Amino acid sequence: MKKFLSILVCMLIFAGTNVYAGSNWGLFFPKDGERPRGNATAEYLAQYDAYFIGSGNEKILYLTFDAGYENNLTSGILDTLEKHDVPAAFFLVGTYIKNNPELIKRMVDEGHIVANHTMTHPDMSQINNREAFIKELSQVEGHFKAITEKDMPKFYRPPKGIYSETNLKLAKELGYKTIFWSSAYKDWEDTNQPSKEEAFSKLIPRTHPGAVILLHNTSKTNALILDELLTRYKEMGYTFESLNHLTG
């Protein structure tokens, strides 16, 4: 009975049904190498300037990192990105930006996007008040501008992918593009890091044209595999673009 109910839920979610209010972003992969389906369609998200995947007509990947704190891995990750000439977007919480000004300057100087991951990493689906929503994003913008003397790029990722339709509307009204993802794996637990083999077994088979890849730059595994991972992506015929290309 439990198996039947699980299958039924999946059918309801992925048979064109959008899950809006208080949703956790989720993906369904029909087959290795194929583009996944999200629990909201690309067409639905597009009306709010939100994205989770790029065009399926080109073998392009979009590399993104999330971080709520720094554990001395990001500098090496930046070295690897520079070696491969790969642009990335770093979705960072406000305290990360405030506490790591030199890393932020380096990201900007080397052509990466520093993007908004909120000030306090809350469940954004519970924030329906416009002023509270603005505060979560504007405080991050303030820290970024204090360090770089530039306006922060208007890209936003809700913490843990938890969102509501109200969030999407408010983000659009503030000029933000909401960015989800179409490829990720469980890499965020410091005390339970996947092995190199586990990481590749999850990431490589799910590679697809237009993939928005989510990694955490707090992951020791990611720091270890990134050089080989980017090499393998390129050997598969993929190139990399920034989120500016994704959103047009």
Catalytic residues: 66, 216
Q: Which of 180, 186, 235, 245 is nearest to 207 (CA)?
A: 235
Place of tokens 């709010």: 48
H helix intervals, 24-177: 42-46, 74-84, 94-99, 101-109, 130-148, 165-173
In this structure, are residues 225 and 196 in contact, taking their beta carbons and an 8 Å threshold? yes
In eight-state DSSP terms, residue 36 is: P
Q: Around Cβ 233, how many Cβ atoms within 10 Å?
A: 22
Measure Cα distances from 13 to 9, 25, 165 in Å.
6, 12, 16
Picking from 161, 143, 135, 188, the residue whose alpha carbon sits closest to that of residue 50 is 161
- Kindly state the tokens that stand for 183: 């490829």
Tokens of 144: 């970024």
- Give, rounded to a whole angstrom, the gap between the first and last alpha carbons of the chain: 46
